[in-house]
Amino acid sequence: QKEVEQNSGPLSVPEGAIASLNCTYSDRGSQSFFWYRQYSGKSPELIMSIYSNGDKEDGRFTAQLNKASQYVSLLIRDSQPSDSATYLCAVNTGNNRKLIWGLGTSLAVNP
């Protein structure tokens, strides 16, 4: 059974701090990794994709991938209250390239 695991949280950080979200996956053959943000009552929206080991930065967001250790993380710098949401990790795996999802980590950024 291919799995993606996340700490459900809630993760609470003060405004301006760095929020660190982690995700592990079981399938070593996974090739593509994604972070989505979901606000309450809304659909998930893609915020980062990463395909190679190392870091990928986009504004205040940095995705980190370590295939040897089978984890992917998301760092949010200078966290804002508007970052408060559930963050979903998704992994594209298998020959049929089906996305497998974690259950999400709830993040609360406190003013």
Partner 1 sequence: GAGVSQSPSNKVTEKGKDVELRCDPISGHTALYWYRQSLGQGLEFLIYFQGNSAPDKSGLPSDRFSAERTGGSVSTLTIQRTQQEDSAVYLCASSANAGGVTEAFFGQGTRLTVV
Name the residues that contact partner 1, by CB under 8 A: 31-32, 34, 43-46, 49, 51, 88, 90, 92, 96-99, 101-104
For the bound state, the minimum distance from the C-beta of residue 107 to partner 1, rounded and expressed in Å, comes to 15
Dihedral in degrees, nearest 10, Cα atoms 40, 43, 47, 49 = 130
| Residue type (1 letter), 14 | P
Rounded-to-integer distance, Cα 31 and Cα 43, Å: 24
Q: Is the Cβ of residue 31 or residue 53 nearer to partner 1 in the bound state?
A: 31
For the bound state, the minimum distance from the C-beta of residue 102 to partner 1, rounded and expressed in Å, comes to 7
Q: Is the Cβ of residue 82 or residue 96 nearer to partner 1 in the bound state?
A: 96
Q: Is the Cβ of residue 40 or residue 111 nearer to partner 1 in the bound state?
A: 40
For the bound state, the minimum distance from the C-beta of residue 46 to partner 1, rounded and expressed in Å, comes to 5
Residue (of 98, 74, 92) closest to 9 by Cα position? 74
Return left, alpha or beta for 95; rule: phi > 0 is left, psi -120 to 50 is alpha, else beta: alpha
For the bound state, the minimum distance from the C-beta of residue 23 to partner 1, rounded and expressed in Å, comes to 13
Q: Is the Cβ of residue 30 or residue 62 nearer to partner 1 in the bound state?
A: 30
CB-based burial of residue 10 (10 Å sphere; 0-12 exposed, 13-18 middle, 19+ buried)?
exposed
